[in-house]
Amino acid sequence: MRRVIFTLLYDRGQFMLSRNFRLQAVGGVDWLFNNYDFAKVSHGLDELMVLDVSRGTRDPDKFAQIVQHISGLCFIPMTVGGGVTSFEIGQRFLRSGADKLLVNSAFFNDPALCRQLAGHFGRQCIVAGIDYRRSGQGPRRPAVDSGSKEIPHDLAYWVESVQENGAGEILFQSVDQDGTGMGLDLSVVDDLPRRPEVPCILMGGVGKAEHVIRGLGHTAVDAVATANLFNFIGSAFLDVRQQIAQTGVQIAHWVDDDYALLRNKFSAPTHSPSA
């Protein structure tokens, strides 16, 4: 089945929008939980990603607390990443409610760590994030450290390398498309000399429902992710899923009304007997 993934970008207490990897704060943690009906949004998702994209010094403890809180709000698998620079940090994210880790720069800086994480938790637990830039129709160049540093490998080599070092999925993120709302870079997987053996997720450029539908209609694409907090509010993802199902693409379905029916089903009555 194909998947729709939503990504929350976190930077030192704020949730962010990103454009070409430049960040803009949209609201604090309280805003997200109080004014943005995150639980409702999650009813239309297959998975959630929560990434610490802090450009300054990261605070993994605080971030893990927020991850823990978010994991209590939605009943779907969750991928957590950003700053997985040690086994302990990865383990802490998993204990905070993550089902998978997104690992990006460590595949370049410390591939042994990636192999260790995959060996210990299983490769299904490791999503390799590959950020890349492209000028015109030139080659796509992978970059690490929040897209700021190009690495001396071409994309084809890098895709093989992350798979050899434990990746169970690959998230392809186009720095150029990021936040533009102009659509996904649909041909990134097709242009590889060899199709990855692991599921491929595309992110960067989703601006409207049609972009998600076109992405998931592409045979090389297993999942589409978007980080725009405002493009799909309320039940917008549920509508997108219906449209995807109508195109014949296999996508999971749930009975949304059951959420309201089941909430507090077993709570003791709160009213006190009248005197």
Binding flag, residue 266, another protein (CB under 8 A)? yes
Binding flag, residue 221, another protein (CB under 8 A)? no
Binding flag, residue 267, another protein (CB under 8 A)? yes
Left (φ > 0), alpha (ψ -120 to 50) or beta: where does 12 sit? left
Q: Round to whole Å and give the CA distance between 51 and 63.
A: 9
Binding residues for another protein restricted to 38-77, rule: CB under 8 A: 43, 46, 68, 71-73, 75-77
Question: For residue 18, what are the β-bridge partners?
Answer: 23
Binding flag, residue 3, another protein (CB under 8 A)? yes
Binding flag, residue 264, another protein (CB under 8 A)? yes
Smallest distance from the beta carbon of 125 to another protein, in angstroms?
Answer: 9
Q: Round to whole Å and give the CA distance between 248 and 251.
A: 9
Q: Which is nearer to another protein, 230 or 265 (CB)?
A: 265
Q: Which is nearer to another protein, 246 or 264 (CB)?
A: 264
Q: Round to whole Å and give the CA distance between 216 and 250.
A: 9
Catalytic residue among 131, 178, 185, 222: 131
The CA-CA-CA angle for residues 13, 17, 19, to 5°, reads 135
**Binding marks (x or -) toward another protein, 165..184, rule CB under 8 A?**
---x----------------
The CA-CA-CA angle for residues 100, 102, 105, to 5°, reads 150
Binding flag, residue 247, another protein (CB under 8 A)? no
Q: Which is nearer to another protein, 89 or 175 (CB)?
A: 89
Looking at 246, 262, 272, 273, which residue binds another protein (CB under 8 A)? 262
Binding residues for another protein restricted to 94-133, rule: CB under 8 A: 94-99, 122, 124
Smallest distance from the beta carbon of 158 to another protein, in angstroms?
Answer: 22
| Alpha carbon separation from 140 to 111, 163, 164 (Å, rounded) | 21, 18, 20
59: annotated active-site residue: no
Half-sphere exposure of 126 (CA within 13 A, CB side): 29
The one-letter code for the residue type at 259 is Y
Q: Round to whole Å and give the CA distance between 29 and 114.
A: 30
Stretch that binds another protein, among 10-18, 138-146, 150-158, 248-256 (CB under 8 A): 248-256
- 24 close to 266: Cβ distance less than 8 angstroms: no
CA neighbor of 198 nearest in space, from 237, 230, 167: 167
Binding flag, residue 219, another protein (CB under 8 A)? no
Number of residues in contact with another protein under rule CB under 8 A: 33
Catalytic residues: 131
Chain positions contacting another protein, by CB under 8 A? 1, 3, 43, 46, 68, 71-73, 75-77, 94-99, 122, 124, 168, 252-256, 258-259, 262-267
